[in-house]
A and B are shown apart, each in its own frame.
Chain A
Amino acid sequence: MRYLPLTTDDRSAMLATIGATSIDDLFADVPVNARLDGPIADLPLHASELAVERHMAALARRNRAAGDGPFFLGAGAYRHHVPASVDHLIQRGEFLTAYTPYQPEIAQGTLQMLFEFQSQVARLLGTDVANASMYDGSTACWEAIVMARRITKRGKALLSTGLHPHYRSVARTMAKYTGDVLVDGDPSLEAGTDWAALADSIDKDTSCVVVQYPDILGRIDDMTALASACQAAGALLIAVVTEPVALGLIKAPGEMGADIVVGEGQSIGVGLQFGGPYVGLFACKTKYVRQMPGRLCGETVDANGKRGFVLTLSTREQHIRREKATSNICTNSGLCALAFSIHMTLLGEAGLRQLAAINHGRAKMAATELAKIPGVSVLNNSYFNEFTLLLPTEARPVIHKLAERDILGGVSLGRLYPANANLANGLVVAVTETVTEADISAFAAALREVLA
């Protein structure tokens, strides 16, 4: 077995040192009837690298990779070009095979990277501070709701109907068991957001209002008035960003007054990965930092006065506070945070702004082309790189017919909201810099054909 260095002679010598006659002696505490005599029956035995690679490659080939043809899916996971150096650098063994930096003297690489990541995220989201990452956007969103409850000592959260349905689902699951009250619903097919109505619904029990920006239908809106309404009522505004590239072009939620900004960082550096691992972004105003979940990296000095970095404020965390911790999170998404940070460093502000502008331009081009198809219209009056098409028929079967033509043509609202017939004709289409003009033409032609 190529990964196991001990030889038979080593094992014998070590057993002798231990004073055991066989390996079974070392498992003496396992009750006799729970011991397995040999390898578990009916399972394959060890295999060569060649054989395993062959097996896995065959499975991989049974998937249609996004890059194999025209591709327009978003809805919380976006396909962007990731520079080759990102993947090279995150595979440096000193990053890839390191542990959580609990011994800071020999983990300054990870710690400085996290400090840089936190600084980048805070600036991008327009807030004061950010943590060292969460699992993903959906879990970060629930943690933000719980944090708002801790801060306001109120238990009712108002969720915008434009919040990603999976994020809403996660919150509903958790709220069922924690006693938090959620006010939520499905979106309606309107050009504008429900934020004005949300502002009117805030009352003295409201802990927070949760809005997504851009939202699940791709709409963008100004949250300044909503932030003021929250502030006036003693509630917090939580903004959720599932496509952070957008913030190269549109105002950051923090700039508009959001108290907590969470997000999915996948679209910068991480890739699609069939849904995970991703990287949750979590940022807030400085005054709330001691209520944050997750790890935080901070600057300090060493015994010789040199600048260095450590994990800090850990009295919020489970390994110190146990049942009184702000969250149970331990392992987060360190390596994905590194990928995010490297890609963001390569982009820089200038690159991010250009990337965002190209995305928006490409989306406008696609929206214009697709809206020319008879019976098809664009719902949004504002969007970044994703918009909702209204089809003259149910979108789900259309998606499958497009797939038969090798076009992955977006995410149907029927898949996201299966119980809501009113949304069945909606199709969410994302258009990033990876989409070519030829892809847009092919999509438009195929959709025209399918709808004819």
Chain B
Amino acid sequence: MTALNPGGWRPEMTAAGGADDTTTFTGNRALMLEEALIFEIGSTATTGVDFDEAAPAADLGALARTAPIGLPGLSEAETVRHYTRLSRQNYAIDLGLFPLGSCTMKHNPRLNEKVARMPGFADAHPLQPQETVQGAYAVIHELAEWLITLTGMDSVAMSPKAGAHGELCGILCIKAALEARGEDRRVILVPESAHGTNPATAAFAGFTVEDIPATEAGRVNLEALKARLGPDVAGVMITNPNTCGLFERDMKAISDAVHAAGGYVYCDGANFNAIVGRVRPGDLGVDAMHINLHKTFSTPHGGGGPGSGPVVLSEALAPFAPLPFVTKHAEGFRLIEEESAGEDHPQTFGRMTAFHGQMGMFTRALTYILSHGADGLKQVAEDAVLNANYVLRSLEDVLDAPFAASGPCMHEALFSDKGLAEGFSTLDIAKGLIDEGYHPMTVYFPLVVHGAMLVEPTETESKAALDQFIGALRSVAMRAKNGDPALKTAPHFAPRARLDETAAARKPILAWNEPAAAPGTPSLSEIGGS
């Protein structure tokens, strides 16, 4: 038997089709289509790929794989349908406003996709002889120059694979720099409002993490920070603009104080979209900052990645940057790898990844940057900040905005759950927004605000789109304030109602397994005939 699910049973199928006005035989509801797993519909004998030749005999002896693997195959027709059906159960930027705070879900231009697929980029091997990939090195170098100029920094490490990997790069640069100075500083200071990756990164690299206190106005408490600095502090990790959506006014003073105490300043650049083209982190005394190309420079999030996290570095940290990197010479571009590093880059902390980084993201980001130019990027920051402030001021009468009195926000507007009816929470507002056709905002982050709701509209939303979103959020907020019981069970119109996450964690089912031949499990034809 090659079918893994020989009975043809599908989980949403029911014998009670038409029993009431919401039930169907298939579990489908018109365009809302249920889809079984590939393991339930495929067979190990089916393939959607034709080959020009039969499989030649292999002579691998005892190493030959003889036992069944259990990998289902589908024809191309079935494959296209399976994944198209799955795709329709996802929300996406292409469908509507995606206001996830600190995630910068902006429009993904399709020219970027086209360029990334040019064979010269997509079909090149990372270890090809250098003379055959000069165009690829040129892309890396050109993007690097833009990132250096836009941030006012000394150099950039291009190889980190995502934001958190970039954080690790910056923190290792700091560690290497301290080692070169012969100092053993063990503490990294991180504000409570930081992304979870910041403390996780510092700990992963062997540092002890301590909190930096915040002021009531939502910013780093400069005096408290100064008081904590000392010979054991390696540096600070600060997000600017911070996760409360505020610009750290004292950033330069913070940097000066940290430098005076012998430490380094790491800036989490997740929120660079608010200031790109208007403020250079290098002018604020930053030593290292990662740039999420998948945020500010619009490479698609892809349902969770891939990202890309180049790290710009100050003159103090540049000598420790990881391998490999591209340099420009009269005769062309050169890739500096382990062998040439000895002469050119003796203090490098080493390699962070195989090959040279996320080339597919570099081509997209460079395309995006060239499309905008210096003027367009400045406009990006301005429109992103304008849109966020518009949302903040349009909703502060119905939702508590804890830092609204602190002045304008940057690219994201922060609200709390204060004033909701007894028993109603931020989660209910989020789920209510789903029924209104929106992806919820970031919820319960940052941790410093109770029931936080962090809204980042980005610059690629029109005023009309913002007005409709504001109306929807206002309506849902009023329902939460008035205690509408229907909101407690939202969403009602999504492909699934609220999912039982506790059960998922208590008894994890992380892979599909052949169903035990349960007596009474009806087969497809039996259901149809009943």
Contacts and interface: CB of A to CB of B under 8 A. Distances in A.
A173 B352 contact: yes
Interface stretch (A196-204, A300-308, A371-379): A300-308
Given A96-B92, A302-B499, A14 B48 contact: no
Given A40-B150, A328-B200, A101 B306 contact: no
A173 B350 contact: yes
Contacts of A323: 199-200, 202-203, 209
Contacts of A21: none
A105 B498 contact: yes
A265 B129 CA distance: 24
Interface string A92-135: 11111111110111111110110110111011100011101101
A83 interface: yes
Given A53-B115, A67-B119, A330-B162, A31 B393 contact: no
B306 A46 contact: no
Nearest to B108: A97
B360 to A, nearest CB: 5
A98 B302 contact: yes
Contact of B463 (A6, A62, A109): A6
B370 A335 contact: no
A303 B360 CA distance: 40
A284 to B, nearest CB: 11
Interface stretch (B94-102, B417-425, B473-481, B520-528): B94-102
Contacts of B501: 104, 300, 310, 312
A4 B458 CA distance: 10
A355 B48 CA distance: 12
A163 B163 CA distance: 27
Nearest to A132: B304
B10 to A, nearest CB: 10
Nearest to B302: A335
Contact of A1 (B379, B489, B491, B498): B379
Contact of B196 (A41, A58, A136, A325): A325
A23 B72 CA distance: 56
Contact of A128 (B89, B168, B497, B511): B511
A338 B302 contact: yes
Nearest to B466: A14
A266 to B, nearest CB: 10
A438 interface: no
Given A112-B86, A308-B496, A330-B164, A30 B278 contact: yes
B350 A176 contact: yes
B439 A318 contact: no
A67 B44 CA distance: 31
A329 B439 CA distance: 23
Nearest to B341: A418
A28 to B, nearest CB: 6
A429 interface: no
Contact of B385 (A27, A47, A325): A27
B63 A29 contact: no
B108 A105 contact: no
Interface stretch (B33-41, B225-233, B256-264): B33-41
Contact of A118 (B90, B115, B275, B510): B510
A8 B172 CA distance: 45
Interface residues of B, number: 204
Contacts of A108: 86, 89-90, 495-496
A358 B86 CA distance: 32
Given A96-B92, A328-B168, A83 B301 contact: no
Nearest to B160: A135
Contacts of A170: 350-354
Interface in A3-23: 3-7, 10-11, 13-15, 17-20, 23
A106 B495 contact: yes
A361 B306 CA distance: 34
Contacts of A250: 60, 63-65
Contact of A348 (B47, B95, B118, B337): B47
Contacts of B450: none
Contact of A98 (B129, B131, B202, B303): B303
A212 interface: no
B303 A52 contact: no
Nearest to B66: A251
Contacts of A89: 79-80, 83-84, 87
A322 interface: yes
A232 interface: no
B374 interface: yes
B123 A179 contact: no
B164 A331 contact: yes
A97 B305 CA distance: 10
B197 A110 contact: no
Interface in B405-421: 407-408
A357 B337 CA distance: 35
Contacts of B284: 31, 34
A304 B359 contact: no
A36 B201 CA distance: 32
Contacts of A153: none
A104 B494 CA distance: 10
Contact of A332 (B86, B304, B389): B304
A273 B360 contact: yes
A238 interface: no
B133 interface: yes
15 contacts: A3-B107, A39-B378, A62-B138, A63-B136, A93-B95, A108-B495, A135-B162, A135-B305, A251-B63, A277-B306, A306-B27, A325-B200, A349-B71, A352-B71, A400-B129
Given A23-B382, A26-B386, A27-B408, 19 more contacts: A1-B376, A36-B279, A52-B371, A92-B84, A93-B92, A97-B93, A99-B100, A106-B90, A115-B37, A124-B69, A129-B510, A135-B165, A273-B121, A302-B500, A346-B73, A348-B47, A350-B73, A355-B49, A415-B127
A-B complex: 5 closest residue pairs judged by Cβ atoms: A348-B73, A335-B302, A275-B355, A62-B135, A60-B120
